[in-house]
Amino acid sequence: MIPSHIDTWQMVEPGTLAQARIAMPALGPDDVVVKIAGCGVCHTDMSYFYMGVPTIQKPPLTLGHEISGVVIGGRTDLIGKEVVIPAVIPCGDCEICRSGRSNRCLDQHMPGYSMGIYGGFSSHIVVGGRFLCVVPERGAIPLEHLSVVADAVTTPYQAALRAEVKAGDVAVVIGATGGIGSYMTQIAKGLGAAAVIGIGRNTEKLQAMSKFGADLVICQEGKTKKEIRDLVKAYCMKMGLPANHGWKIFEATGTKPGQELALSLLSYAGKLIVIGYGTEQTGYMLSKLMVYDAQVIGVWGCPPEHYPGVLDMCLDGRIQLAPFVETRPMSRIAETFEQAHHGKLAKRVILTPDF
């Protein structure tokens, strides 16, 4: 039965949350009502809430774009299906979508950003059914854990596709212990990279990543960019891998130091994929790209057609979710936001409705 209302936590204005009850919107012919199982807390939410990054829909609105749940209304062929809602929902019909880059559709919708007042930190959400990712048999994996597939897992997967990660590659992940970097590490290894090198600031977390795809971990604290580059080169030489060319570098921190380190590692025929979002400007001599014949590529979300492949990697164990997530009741949203903003979360938090 479709409820007449949606319970939600709204951003009244940047920095302010309030619980609210809003009307269930009218359904279009393709629409479904999803009862939310979980919604992941993303760094992008913090950018909207604390850093003043504008949303298309002005507050009050509900944030949250990493959503999994169960269809309870709307299209009859989808009722009862467990689904992951893409964080970036394209129109599917424009020239960009037809070119295979629907993740950057100019008419896209994103829960918690440009889909009216509706987002994932709610009891329910109404979305179009066309691009939903239906969850197959998931075994013991909780449905709420699959919410992070919508962004934290599919975005690095898209980054790996754009980098053309293949067997024998050297992949360097900056921010390898973060919410996106930890999955980037696993994905690169799962796609066949010969060496995945994880770089970060927390020694304990870095060592843990050795169990999840990292062949070498480097703590950057107290090290210069040159020292880090020399460590990567020495490892590659030791393993008989390219020591000065062809590296696939993934910047997942969104910080200026992370971006500067990534650019310092970019060399001959290499690719730098920018995944993390930040607001600081970073300087670079663009002529180096010409000299190196290198590329810098930005990644925004992931086309919905790639979601089933990512889900398969999660279900067959190539991507582990449970070690990197923590579930909390949604009533702890204010506390969780504050901890996320100050970098005090050990894992990516998934909020589960408890209205």
Q: pLDDT tens digits, residue range 267-279?
A: 999 999 999 988 8
pLDDT in tens, 172-214: 999 999 889 999 999 999 999 999 999 999 999 999 999 999 9
Residue with tokens 């702890």: 332
Q: What is the DSSP string of 37-81?
A: EEEE--HHHHHHHHS-PPPSSPSSB----EEEEEEEEESTTTTT-
> Domain 154-298 in CATH: superfamily?
NAD(P)-binding Rossmann-like Domain (3.40.50.720)
> Which residue intervals of the chain are DSSP H helices?
43-50, 95-98, 154-163, 181-190, 203-209, 225-238, 256-265, 287-292, 307-315, 333-341
Residues of the chain with CATH 3.90.180.10: 5-150+302-352
Query: Could you say which architecture CATH assigns to the domain 5-150+302-352?
Result: Alpha-Beta Complex (3.90)
**Kind of pairing, strands 195-200 and 124-128?**
unpaired
Contact of 56 with 88, CB cutoff 8 Å? no
Would you say 119 and 63 are in contact if contact means Cβ atoms under 8 Å apart? yes
Tokens 């993934």 -> residue: 250
Helix axes 225-238, 256-265, angle to 10 degrees: 40
Q: Closest Cα partner for 78 from 29, 23, 139?
A: 29
What pLDDT does 195 receive? 98
The pLDDT value recorded for residue 154 is: 97
Q: What is the pTM of this model?
A: 0.93
Distance between CA atoms of 282 and 243, rounded to whole angstroms?
A: 26
- Note the pLDDT tens digit of each residue in 282-308: 999 999 999 999 999 999 999 999 999
How do residues 93-107 score in pLDDT, each as one tens digit? Answer: 999 999 999 999 999
Spatial separation of the C-alpha atoms in residues 275 and 273, rounded to whole Å: 6
Mean pLDDT of 31-36: 98
**Helix/strand/coil percentages in the chain, nearest 5:** 30, 25, 45
> How confident is the model at residue 1, as a pLDDT?
83
CATH 3.40.50.720 segments of the chain: 154-298
Tokens, residue 147: 């919410």
Name residues whose C-beta falls within 8 Å of residue 238's C-beta, 6 or more positions apart in sequence: none
Q: pLDDT tens digits for 138-168? A: 999 999 999 999 999 999 999 999 999 999 9
Q: Who contacts 211 (Cβ-Cβ below 8 Å, separation ≥6)?
A: none
Q: What is the pLDDT of residues 74-95, one digit of tens each?
A: 999 999 999 999 999 999 999 9
